[in-house]
Amino acid sequence: YLCSAETKWQRMNGLVLLLPHGYEGQGPEHSSARIERFLQQCAEQNMVITNITTAANFFHALRRQQTWAFRKPLVVFTPKANLRHPGSSSKLEEFTTGGFKEVYDDSSVTDPSAVTKVLLCSGKIYFDLEEKRQKEQHENVAIVRLEQMYPLPQHQLDMLYNKYSKAIWHWVQEEPLNMGAASFLRMNIKNINLHIISRLPSAATATGYAKMHAKEQAEILETAFSI
């Protein structure tokens, strides 16, 4: 019903799913909502898949859901850590102006020609990347947030690719290589040569050991800025 009701029965639905998803060291049963499986079922503009990082953008996603003259299912992956992260908060005027942002460009970049690396990411890992960048002062790195994974905002990504014309692009995800959005983006992003930074392929969604989780997370962040 969620994925194919419109194709099979010509019936629209505006169902909204909020699914806990985020790698916080809580083990395989508490880390993944299986982004990859939802993205596998995306075609013909059948639903909207998001991984939102700010309160205002979440508000605008719900508002857009109601103001559309048609209905599409909305799937929102919601890391628990984002609920209490200071970076997720928004100013009041961000709720009352503007609309849903499918992509967030890096507002800290003053000279796009000086950027040699773009880290494209989605969800909770953005805050980890931003914290490490500020701590180590990687001024040649831009971090772009993909808030909507489907329908993929290809035009906006192409504009950013042209903006950062001297940069190498990397998709950074917390999930293992065989999970998350990596395969979907490789298949659907046509104009950007996207390298993947992730956990190693795994049969389970996440490790059950907190120390191993921390080690894997640190390796992802280190690779993102050193590769």
- Per-residue pLDDT for 30 more than 80? no
**Spatial CA neighbour of 144 closest among 53, 74, 226, 76:** 53
Q: Give the per-residue pLDDT at 116.
A: 97
Q: Determine the Cα–Cα distance for residues 111 and 96; give it in Å rounded to an integer.
A: 30
| Strand ranges for the chain from DSSP E | 16-20, 48-50, 74-78, 103-104, 117-121, 141-146, 148-150, 168-176, 194-199
CA 100, 61, 28, 124 dihedral sign is positive
CATH number, domain containing residue 13 = 3.40.50.11610
Q: What are phi and psi of 182, to 5 degrees?
A: -55, -50
Q: Give the per-residue pLDDT at 80.
A: 80
Both structure tokens of 225: 């800025």
Q: Determine the Cα–Cα distance for residues 208 and 195; give it in Å rounded to an integer.
A: 27
- Per-residue pLDDT for 25 more than 80? no
Domain extent, residue 11, equals 5-226
Q: Into how many domains does the chain fold?
A: 1
Q: Determine the Cα–Cα distance for residues 221 and 169; give it in Å rounded to an integer.
A: 15
Q: Are strands 117-121 and 141-146 parallel, antiparallel or unpaired?
A: parallel
Q: CA Rg, the chain, in Å?
A: 17
Tens digit of pLDDT for each residue in 44-54? 999 999 999 99
51 in Cβ contact with 120 (< 8 Å): no
- Using the structure block, give the residue that is written with the tokens 């806990």: 20
Which range of 69-83, 139-153, 204-218 scores highest in mean pLDDT? It is 139-153
Mean pLDDT is lowest, of 141-145, 187-191, 195-199, for 187-191
**Spatial CA neighbour of 147 closest among 215, 214, 18, 58:** 58
- Tell me the mean pLDDT in the region 188-217: 91
Q: Is the pTM of this model over 0.85?
A: yes
Tens digit of pLDDT for each residue in 86-143? 889 999 999 999 999 999 999 999 999 999 999 999 999 999 999 999 999 999 999 9
